[in-house]
Amino acid sequence: MGILDTGIRNAKNVRNYMFGPGSIQSLPKLLQAPRQNRDQRVGFFIDEFFKNNASILNNLAIESGDHVVFVPTEKEPTTDQIDSYLSAIREKNLNISAIVGMGGGITLDVAKAVANLLTNPGKAADYQGWDLVKNPAVYKIGIPTISGTGAEATRTCVMTNTKTGVKLGMNSDFTVYDQIILDSDLTSTVSRDQYFWTGMDTYVHCIEALAGSYRNAIGDAFSREAVNLCQQVFLSEDMMTSEAREKLMVASYLGGCAIATSYVGVVHPFSAGLSVVLGLHHCVSNCIVMRAVEEFYPEPYAEFWKMVEKQNIHIPEGVCRGLKDEEFDRLYASTIVHEKPLTNALGPNFGKILTREKVKETFLKM
Ligand code: NAD
Ligand code: ZN
């Protein structure tokens, strides 16, 4: 397969990024401008993990009258959940001049969606798609506390509409954070398995992008460096030293930038199937799918399992054993629907390769 044009010409990046251990202490200064008028309030969306962590919360300079939400992470965001966050702000009639999202991909996405809806009428589900957001969002700051999804860099915020089953973000330049703070001190408390699963999201995005046929020089450059950093982190003796955590935070950001001009491949569509049908979270799902993709990505497959072994990580197994035919039908439908990534990986006739039987066989390998 030759290299094909991605069709992407004009990519938006985060406007400002602050980096380095301890950089979160600059947050109060960044919030001075949005707090200029006395009635202006900041909306904080914070991963529930930090709810009782006074030493972290004290850095955020939360003021009385600010709107603080601790975001649950048991389930991935839904459009109804976003709408309810909006209603809570509207009921209090608050003048929100900045949104701060601090946490993993879930929390970063929730904060992006809320910031968009504060300046655009209607409901979250109205904006699931491409370039549907009409007005610039409220100024927003993203602070990742776990590395890998690249949500701090991308122009989307993934949400599921539980009524229609559609899992799709608000893909828009307005969704991109105005400011991010990459403080790797914040990731020291992540559990080892979760650190690996989420960190691997950037590795998987980038090996899929680099093996695809829709390519360009800038996407390749971001992807190659993100993969290089992941190799340094996950093939080292300890993936969670402060140096490794700093590298992984950069890999995540670069991986997010890579996605702006490239496409994923086979892993993400299968992973989406697991999320939609079995409710498994995105990053652990990717790792589970890696059990079954040796034929598509032989070298990354071997490297991935070497990393798993080196870091002694648990990857769930046998998740599709004993499922009913009806569930395999749904798995097939929710995988095959991802035409662009599958075309990127396998060409326009991907359906001839990924037959119903082949897809079922692949899920059974997981
Ligand atoms: P997450 O938000 O699902 O969090 C995973 C777990 O880590 C949670 O239990 C959380 O409380 C915990 N956690 C976070 N920071 C911690 C810390 N410092 N210490 C201890 N625990 C901590 O994490 P994720 O894997 O980063 O995000 C997955 C989500 O990201 C999914 O909803 C997925 O759809 C989304 N995603 C978004 C994009 C995008 O471009 N917007 C890209 C990929 C994935
Ligand atoms: Zn991903």
Q: Tell me: do 177 and 200 sit in the same domain.
A: no
The domain boundary, picked from 132, 158, 187, lies at 187
Nearest atom in ligand 1 to the alpha carbon of residue 157 is 41
Q: Tell me: do 40 and 162 sit in the same domain.
A: yes
CB distance 30 to 96 below 8 Å:
no
Counting ligand 1 atoms within 8 A of each CB, the residue from 14, 49, 188 with the most, and so the one to mutate, is 49
Q: Tell me: do 85 and 160 sit in the same domain.
A: yes
Q: Tell me: do 162 and 235 sit in the same domain.
A: no
CB distance 352 to 317 below 8 Å:
no
Is 273 contained in some domain? yes
Q: How many domains does the chain have?
A: 2
pTM of the full structure = 0.97
Is 10 contained in some domain? no
Is 4 contained in some domain? no
Q: Any residues with Cβ below 6 Å from ligand 1, and which?
A: 47, 49, 73, 76, 103-107, 109, 145-146, 148-151, 154, 156-158, 186-187, 189-190, 194, 198, 201, 281-283
From first to last of its 366 residues, the chain has per-residue pLDDT tens of 568 788 777 899 999 999 999 999 999 999 999 999 999 999 999 999 999 999 999 999 999 999 999 999 999 999 999 999 999 999 999 999 999 999 999 999 999 999 999 999 999 999 999 999 999 999 999 999 999 999 999 999 999 998 887 889 999 999 999 999 999 999 999 999 999 999 999 999 999 999 999 999 999 999 999 999 999 999 999 999 999 999 999 999 999 999 988 999 999 999 999 999 999 999 999 999 999 999 999 999 999 999 999 999 999 999 999 999 999 999 999 999 999 999 999 999 999 999 999 999 999 999
Nearest atom in ligand 1 to the alpha carbon of residue 149 is 43
Nearest atom in ligand 1 to the alpha carbon of residue 256 is 40
How many CB atoms lie under 10 A from the CB of residue 54?
Answer: 8
Pairing of strands 40-47, 95-103: parallel
Q: What is the DSSP letter of 176?
A: S
Q: Tell me: do 51 and 171 sit in the same domain.
A: yes
C-alpha–C-alpha distance, residues 112 and 262, integer Å: 21
Is 38 contained in some domain? yes
Its domain, for residue 120, covers: 16-187
DSSP readout, 76-97? --BHHHHHHHHHHHHHTT-EEE
